Structure 1
Amino acid sequence: MNDEERTLRARLNAETGKLEWPEVERHFARGAVVKVSASLDLVEVAARMAGDDVAAIRGWMEAGTLCRASDDDARIWGARRPLFWAVVAAPWLLVQEIEYSDAP
């Protein structure tokens, strides 16, 4: 990994944060939410997307560990109100569920 890649990962790591469903929902409405499996490192995925690493992205998509959020996902998230780790890899918002909330 070169200095530019390390800098990108450090920046993306600093930009990650926890979001609740209502904050994610706005991005879902514009079709910009990508689900990242808990088996993947969120920052690594964001870095690969920012670097346009087509091979890695395709591999994750084929494995089912990376995909655009679906209407079914939105219905489930709306009912369960999970908390997410999230980071932007423009134009996408990458999310990983981290816990459930009992919020109404």
Structure 2
Amino acid sequence: MSETNTLYATLLGQTAEIRWQELQPHFAKGALLQVGADVDLIEAAEAIVQDNTAKVSAWLASGQVGKVTEDEARDFLMNDPTFWAVVVAPWVLIQVRSSDVTAV
């Protein structure tokens, strides 16, 4: 197994379901990055770990990855979706589960 595949598998194993209530402290610290449904959550985490500036910058510029906004946080509080989350210090990357699609 290649180093990249090993990292992907490790990050995948560290991914868990979580609710907004548990994520709020990370939002308050400014440490939440939301990953859009069209980006693989683990691929995004892997790019951050590997310091792949080109890939991460492209996602940030396109809005496919970004900090959770105040409006999104209010929506999450009201709708209480389930997220997939993985920690890539200092960030917590989150993605709304596809079965819980909200206006993200």
Shared fold per TM-score greater than 0.5: yes
Tell me, yes or no, if structure 1 residue 58 matches structure 2 residue 57: yes
Give me the whole-angstrom Cα distance separating, in 2, the residues matched to 1:16 and 1:67. Answer: 19
Shift of residue 97, structure 1, vs aligned partner: 0.7
Per the alignment, residue 47 of structure 2 pairs with 48
One-letter amino acid of the counterpart of residue 66, structure 1: V
Give me the whole-angstrom Cα distance separating, in 2, the residues matched to 1:11 and 1:26. Answer: 25
Unmatched 5+ stretches in structure 2: none
What aligned pairs does 1:2-81 form with structure 2 within 5 A after superposition? Answer: 3-81=2-80
Give me the whole-angstrom Cα distance separating, in 2, the residues matched to 1:61 and 1:28. Answer: 18
Deviations 1:28-61 (A, max 9, x none): 1111000100101000000000111110011011
**Identity across the alignment (%):** 37
Give me the whole-angstrom Cα distance separating, in 2, the residues matched to 1:72 and 1:93. Answer: 18
Q: CA RMSD in A?
A: 1.2
Could you state the TM-score of these two structures normalised by the residue count of structure 2?
A: 0.90
Any runs of at least 4 consecutive aligned residues in structure 1 with deviations exceeding 2 A, and if so which? none
Give me the whole-angstrom Cα distance separating, in 1, the residues matched to 2:71 and 2:51. Answer: 27
